[in-house]
Amino acid sequence: MKVKAYACVDCHTTFQHPLSRGRPPIRCPKCRHNPDPLRRKAVRSAPALTVLPTAAERVAEAAGHAEPVLALVQAELSSAGTLETSTGAIAVSLARLLDAGGHTASSAASLARELRATMAQACKDEEASDALDTMAQRWRDRRKADGA
Ligand SMILES: [Zn+2]
């Protein structure tokens, strides 16, 4: 019978297992028969990003950025001048979450939607503060014109 070497997901040792048509084994015979609940729990509860690189991380590695969404969001916010606002801070946190990965498709989608909405808000905030600046400037001009 043909055997193949597999790596155990729990103890990371390689073990031989007969090559079969079924699902390949993920645990060595020792771990399969003596499951270590603590280790298994640790493996299961570890955040996905420490286990596998996310698609975003792989793209980032290629692009030379560890956090591609965050980098872009920060760049956009600082050019809009809203990086230091509460809306900007929310956008940055959302971008970090997106970059961290380990989401289901639907939670990644809702994160992305929320980030887009926040970015739209951040740009609106900037317009609003521009408008306020303009109004304040007009007010100052008028006061000056009224004859100080
Ligand atoms: Zn094992």
Render pLDDT for 4-13 as a digit per residue (tens, 0 to 9): 888 988 888 8
- Indicate if the pLDDT at residue 93 is higher than 60: yes
Helix, strand, or coil here: 18? Answer: strand
Q: What is the CA(35)–ligand 1 centre distance, in A?
A: 9
N residues, the chain = 148
Residues 22 and 82 in one domain: no
Q: Indicate if 42 and 68 belong to the same structural domain.
A: no
What pLDDT is attached to residue 103?
83
CA of residue 47 to ligand 1 center, whole Å: 21
Q: Which residue has the tokens 């692009």?
A: 63
Could you tell me if 63 and 126 lie in one domain? yes
- Give residue 25 CA to ligand 1 midpoint distance, Å: 11
**Domain membership of residue 57 as a residue range:** 53-145
> Is the pTM here over 0.85, yes or no?
no
**C-alpha 28 to ligand 1 mean position (Å):** 4
Query: How far, in Å, from the CA of 44 to the mean position of ligand 1?
Result: 15
User: What's the distance, CA 79 to chain centroid?
Assistant: 22
Do 98 and 80 lie in one domain? The reply is yes
Distance 8 CA to ligand 1 centre (A): 5
User: What residues have CB less than 8 Å from 124, skipping those under 6 apart?
Assistant: none
Give the DSSP H or E segment for 61. helix 55-63
Structural domain count of the chain: 2
Say yes or no: 128 and 64 in one domain.
Answer: yes
Per-residue pLDDT reduced to its tens digit, 38-87: 665 555 555 554 455 566 666 556 566 677 888 888 888 888 888 888 99
Rounded to whole angstroms, the Cα distance separating 9 from 73 reads: 36
Q: Clarify whether residues 41 and 76 are in a common domain.
A: no
What residue type is 16 in one-letter code? Q
- End-to-end alpha-carbon separation of the chain, Å? 100
Given a cut of 70, whether residue 100 has pLDDT beyond it is yes
